[in-house]
Amino acid sequence: MSDRTRAHVFVSGTVQGVYYRATTREQAGEHGVDGWVRNLEDGRVEAVFEGPEDAVEAMVDWCHEGSPAAHVEDIEVEYDDPEGETGFRVRR
């Protein structure tokens, strides 16, 4: 049984144009988490984190604050089995 998990996160608030994606990528690198992050047309940020359960949880916790200029209002998180993400990238 793997200790890896996957979190699919939707973040709402003032989270676009405030370096949220770039800072998320930096944090993912520090935590050794794979996945991706992107802006959605409705103003939210969507992210997927895969990795050790504690590292993924640290990223989910971080999303509640986000980048220094962000103002996070709400977070939705769904957990699932890892799909084999490798590396962490910002999607367009």
At 48-89, the pLDDT tens digits run: 999 999 999 999 999 999 999 999 999 999 999 999 999 999
Q: Is 23 helix (H, G, I), strand (E, B) or coil?
A: helix
Q: Which two tokens stand for residue 41?
A: 């047309």
The active-site residue out of 6, 21, 25, 44 is: 21
The active-site residue out of 4, 38, 39, 89 is: 39
Distance between CA atoms of 73 and 81, rounded to whole angstroms?
27
At 15-45, the pLDDT tens digits run: 999 999 999 999 999 999 999 999 999 999 9
Confirm whether 39 is a catalytic residue. Answer: yes
Confirm whether 92 is a catalytic residue. Answer: no
Question: How large a percentage of the chain has pLDDT more than 70?
Answer: 98
Tally of CA atoms within 13 A in the half-sphere of 82 that contains its CB: 17
The predicted pLDDT at position 1 comes to 44
Residues linked to residue 77 through DSSP beta bridges, in sequence order: 9
Other Cβ atoms less than 10 A from the Cβ of 76: the count is: 11
The predicted pLDDT at position 92 comes to 87
Domains recognised in the chain with CATH numbers: 4-90 (3.30.70.100)
The predicted pLDDT at position 2 comes to 61
